[in-house]
Amino acid sequence: MAVDLLLKGGTVVTEGGPVQADVAVSGGVIVGLTAAGEGPSARRTVDVTGLHVLPGVIDTHAHHREPGYTHKEDIITGTSAAAAGGVTVSCAMPNVYPPPNTAKVLRDMFALYEQKSVIDYNINAASSNLEELPALAEMGILSFKIFMVVDTGRDYPHMPGIGVHDHGKLFKMFQGIQKTGLPLMIHPHDQALMTVIEEDYWARGEKDFRAYAKAYSSYDGVIWDSAVSTLLQLQRASGVHLHILHLQTRRCVEMIRAARAEGRAVTSEVNPWTLWLGNDCANIERLASYALSYYVEPHHYQAVWNALLDGTSDMIATDHAPHTHAEKAPGRENGWKAHTGTPSVQEYVSLLMTDVNDGKLSLKKAVELLSENPAKVFKLYPKKGAIRIGADADFAIIDMNAELVLNDERVISKCGWTPYAGRKVKGLPLHTIVRGKFVFEDGKVVGEPGGGVKATPLTAEQAARLTAAAVSV
C-alpha cells in the first residue's frame, strides 16, 4: 500500500548520525526508513537528493508577543518566521498581557494558538500564582517560567509584577513546581546587585548602549553568577528540575557542571546572541541596542561553546525577542530605554549550520542541540526530536551548500529586521515539514494559521510504547 509521502535520496540525520536513506511518512508519522532508493511507493514523492533531512527543530523559548504586544510580533508572524527557520515546535514565553499565570488566561491563550499557529506549539506558563500551579500543570504545558528581572527605565519586556527575585518567594515557587513534576525555566538575574551597579553608572552620567552593555557584564558577570549560584541552592533544597536560561558565563558553566556531576536535575540553554552576536564588542559598536540582548566579555564564549559540545549545556533555544525600530533606536543615547532582546528564529539554524560547515561541530551534535535534547528535556521524545519509526514526521530539510548574506528584506518577523543582516551563512532550511505537511516549501511559507497542534509532554508509558514501536518495526 502506498504511503502518504516519501522523502527520497537525502542524507538523513538519525540519532546514529547521517545516513543515505529514504523516509516514508503516513498519517503524519514516520513509518519507514529504508536504504536509499528502496523506499515504498507514495502518493507524493519528494526528491531531496543533495539535501540533508534533519528532525524538526524545537525552539523552547520564543517571544511571540500575543496577546498584548502584537505591534512587535503575533502568533502568525512568529510561527511563520519559525517555519522558515526550520522550526517545527515553538514554545511561547509568558511576558504577554495578560500573562498566563492562571488556568483561565492560559486556556484563552491556548485557544489563540489553536486558531493561529502555523507550526506545533506550547506555552511556558508564568508561575507567579502559587495556588494556580497545579491547575496550570494539568493543561499540558512543558514547563513553567520565572523572570528574575525587574526593568528600570522602561516597562517592557519585564512588565511590573512579572519579576521575582525575593529568595523566599522563589523557594516557594520551586517547591510548588517540584510537586507538579514539571521543569522550571528561569532567567537568572541578581536584581539587588543590578540596582546598585546601575546606580553607579547613572551617577557617572553613563547611560548609552555601551554603559548598558557594561553594566550587565559588570565584575565579569557577577549578576549572572550570583543568581545561578542561588538558584542552584534552591534547586538542591527543593529537588525541582531547574532549567537555566541564557547560559553565558564561564562560572555559570562550572557551577552547572558540578551540579550535574552530583546527578541533580539541572539543564540549561544557550541563545544565539551569546554565540553569534552580543558578546562581540564590534557588533555592539555597529548596532548599539539592536545587538543587545545581554553582553558579557568575549572571553566567556569558549567556555559556553565547550559546554554545548561536552553536554554540560543541553540546547540552543532562540530567545527570539522582536522589538520595533522605535523601541530599539533610543538605546543609542540611553540603553535602559531600549527594549532589550534580539530576534533570531529565522536565522539561528543557518548560523549553526555555518558552524557545522566550518568544522566547529558535527551535524549530529547540531541536531542534538536543536532537536533531540530539547525533546528529551521537555518530554516530547521520542514522539519528537529524532528521525525514527513512530515519531511525528517533523523535518527541517537543509541545503548545506546554499549560501546567503542575511538581510532585512527576507525577515518574516513583524519587527522587520535582523541583527544578523550582512552576515554570510552557509546551510539554509529549504523545506520544513510538520507531521507530514509542508509548512515551508522551496523557501516559501505555505503553512496555514491553525495548522499547528499543541505538543504535550509524554507520560513514561507513552514514551516506552513509542520506543518499543521503533524497535519492533
Sole residue written with cell 533544597 = 237
State in angstroms the smallest separation of the CB of 339 from ligand DOR.
Answer: 6
CB of 59 or CB of 319, closer to Zn ion? 319
CB of 322 or CB of 385, closer to ligand DOR? 322
User: If binding means CB under 5 A, how many residues of this protein chain bind Zn ion?
Assistant: 1
> Which residues, including other chains, have CB under 8 Å from residue 159's CB and lie 6 or more apart?
95, 97, 99, 151
State in angstroms the smallest separation of the CB of 93 from ligand DOR.
Answer: 6
CB of 319 or CB of 394, closer to Zn ion? 319
Give the number of other Cβ atoms within 10 Å of residue 114's Cβ: 15
State in angstroms the smallest separation of the CB of 320 from Zn ion.
Answer: 8
Give the number of other Cβ atoms within 10 Å of residue 464's Cβ: 12
CB of 63 or CB of 337, closer to ligand DOR? 63
State in angstroms the smallest separation of the CB of 180 from Zn ion.
Answer: 22
95 binds, among Zn ion, ligand DOR, none (CB under 5 to 8 A by kind): ligand DOR
CB of 343 or CB of 374, closer to ligand DOR? 343
C-alpha–C-alpha distance, residues 194 and 403, integer Å: 41
CB of 22 or CB of 319, closer to Zn ion? 319
> Helix count (H) and strand count (E) of the chain?
16, 18
The amino acid that residue 405 corresponds to is V
C-alpha–C-alpha distance, residues 240 and 245, integer Å: 15
Q: Does 73 engage in binding with Zn ion (CB under 5 A)?
A: no
269 binds, among Zn ion, ligand DOR, none (CB under 5 to 8 A by kind): none
CB of 39 or CB of 343, closer to Zn ion? 343
CA 218 to chain centroid, in Å, comes to 26
State in angstroms the smallest separation of the CB of 62 from ligand DOR.
Answer: 10
157 binds, among ligand DOR, Zn ion, none (CB under 5 to 8 A by kind): ligand DOR
C-alpha–C-alpha distance, residues 101 and 159, integer Å: 14
C-alpha–C-alpha distance, residues 12 and 293, integer Å: 34
- Decide if 52 contacts 18 (C-beta within 8 A): yes
**Nearest-CA neighbor of 247 among 227, 231, 269?**
269
State in angstroms the smallest separation of the CB of 211 from ligand DOR.
Answer: 17
Q: Using CA atoms of 37, 375, 270, 144 in order, give the dihedral in degrees to the nearest 10.
A: 160
State in angstroms the smallest separation of the CB of 430 from ligand DOR.
Answer: 29
State in angstroms the smallest separation of the CB of 271 from ligand DOR.
Answer: 9
CB of 341 or CB of 427, closer to ligand DOR? 341
What residue number has its CB nearest to ligand DOR? 341
- For 88, the grid coordinates are 517545527
The amino acid that residue 220 corresponds to is D
C-alpha–C-alpha distance, residues 410 and 388, integer Å: 33
Residues 307-366 close enough to bind Zn ion by CB under 5 A? 319
293 binds, among ligand DOR, Zn ion, none (CB under 5 to 8 A by kind): ligand DOR
165 binds, among ligand DOR, Zn ion, none (CB under 5 to 8 A by kind): none
388 binds, among Zn ion, ligand DOR, none (CB under 5 to 8 A by kind): none
- Decide if 294 contacts 215 (C-beta within 8 A): no
- For 240, the grid coordinates are 525541582
Q: Residue 382: is the preceding peptide bond cis (ω within 30°)? A: yes
- Decide if 293 contacts 341 (C-beta within 8 A): yes
Sole residue written with cell 529537588 = 239
C-alpha–C-alpha distance, residues 54 and 38, integer Å: 20
178 binds, among Zn ion, ligand DOR, none (CB under 5 to 8 A by kind): none
Q: Which residues bind ligand DOR (CB under 6 A)?
A: 63, 95, 147, 149, 157, 187, 293, 321, 340-341
State in angstroms the smallest separation of the CB of 291 from ligand DOR.
Answer: 11
Q: E strand or H helix at 196, and its extent? A: helix 191-203
CB of 173 or CB of 186, closer to ligand DOR? 186
295 binds, among ligand DOR, Zn ion, none (CB under 5 to 8 A by kind): none
State in angstroms the smallest separation of the CB of 379 from Zn ion.
Answer: 21
CB of 99 or CB of 183, closer to ligand DOR? 99
340 binds, among Zn ion, ligand DOR, none (CB under 5 to 8 A by kind): ligand DOR
Give the number of other Cβ atoms within 10 Å of residue 435's Cβ: 20
Would you tell me which residues interact with Zn ion (CB under 5 A)? 319
